[in-house]
Amino acid sequence: MPNVKSNIFLYRLLNYSDQYIDECIANVIEEVSQGKIVKKSSRHIPTIDFFLRIWIPRNHSKKDTIKRSTYYRWLNWSNTEKQRVIEFIDKNFKALAKDIVANEGKGIFYAKNALDMHDRPRDENENEKQITISLKDLEIVVNKSLNDSE
């Protein structure tokens, strides 16, 4: 028999995640433009850490949240309702984060690492040339990237 209290908690957690995503999407900042204060859309990258440690306790109740370790333990369980709900939340957060990174370039270094969006590794010898200058017994070797200004 399913645990009713646990299912109610999962439903609330799912509902809170939707509210948090809505806040991330609707976020605006105020900027000064031509002497006037203008509101500009500035979506936030959702994070599990902020959601569990700060957003839920501040917007609802401390008893309505779980520890990150519990979140990730549930995420790694197999074929349980908890795992499915946590996986759904996790996928939604990552989808929004990837969209913000791809379209707005926000939090690029943090997000690329957190979302496993890595650039291909650079070959150390790529785009480099070697210049050797001999002055009698003195040899100077200079490595210069082709991308550097000459």
In a domain, 58, yes or no: yes
- pLDDT at position 1 is 46
In a domain, 12, yes or no: yes
In a domain, 86, yes or no: yes
The secondary structure of residue 50, as a DSSP letter, is H
In a domain, 148, yes or no: no
Which token pair is 115?
A: 């979302």
Inform me whether the pLDDT recorded for 141 exceeds 60: no
pTM: 0.67
Phi/psi for 11 (5° steps) reads -60, -45
Domain membership of residue 47 as a residue range: 4-114
Q: What is the CATH number of the domain that holds 20?
A: 1.10.132
The neighbour count for residue 58, using CB atoms within 10 Å, is 9
In a domain, 110, yes or no: yes
What mean pLDDT is reported for the chain? 80
End-to-end CA distance of the chain: 73
In a domain, 133, yes or no: no
pLDDT digits (tens, 9 = 90+) for 45-60: 899 999 999 999 999 9
- pLDDT at position 136 is 56
In a domain, 125, yes or no: no
Q: Element (H or E) spanning 16, and its range?
A: helix 4-26
